[in-house]
Structure 1
Amino acid sequence: MDLRGNCLISRRRVVSARTVLLFCSTIMTVPIKVPVLAEQPSKKQSHLSPVGWVNSYIGTGGGGTEYGGTMPLVTMPFGMTNWTAQTRQNKISVTSYAYEDRTISGFIGTHQPAIWMGTTVT
């Protein structure tokens, strides 16, 4: 706008701006088919059930900062007692199962959802 309040944009620029806007909105609404070059799943992968994709041992082994502190627990949905294999003594800050242990000493029903919560009170 100039000092008198008159618009300095020419009518030609307004028309061309409207044309560009109309063109862009039309292009965005027209579906464009693009060939998909994604890798097709192999026959072996296509026959796996959803259970085949689950690894219940993630976070159960290792040590230091990389240790997940988790146990492969089994329970019903919303269950309060979790069942797991016991490979070592259950203590606070130690899980009763470790992936690298070679023997299972038994099975344990536990309420311990994490390594920092023990199941017994002393």
Structure 2
Amino acid sequence: GSQLLGLAAGGLDPGALFQRLTFRRFEFAWQLLRSLARKPLLVSQLLASLGGVQELAQDQVELTYFAVAAPSQNQGVGHRLLESYADWWASRGARRLVLSVEEENAGALRFYRRHGFEVVRELEQGAYRRFALCKTL
């Protein structure tokens, strides 16, 4: 049917994306808050990560949000979603795709490495450690 299987969002200005999603789309903000309430540790991680991975160059784009619904995981949905996202930006001139992953999210780190991403630096954000990753498109 018309069930949402995954989400990929980002762009050249991740801060503006976050503002549009949270302040202009109250339903998104409400759902995000409900999800975060189930995992309070994520609240401070989210707040710490709002600055994005780094200053973005003109030829690179950030993948800010990426998720696949639990029932659709390990079925190739994430692979297709990530490849479509990368292809879409590559067709518009992007040459690099950047993102960050929390240190404790080993599954996501493995996923991105399998898809050609390399860790380019470690980020300390308060008590949290993240890895900045980059893939050439």
Q: Quick check: TM above 0.5?
A: no
Q: Specify which structure has the higher proportion of strand.
A: 2
* TM-score, normalisation: structure 1: 0.22
* TM-score, normalisation: structure 2: 0.20
> Which one has more relative contact order, counting CA pairs under 8 Å at least 6 apart?
2
Larger Cα-atom Rg: 1
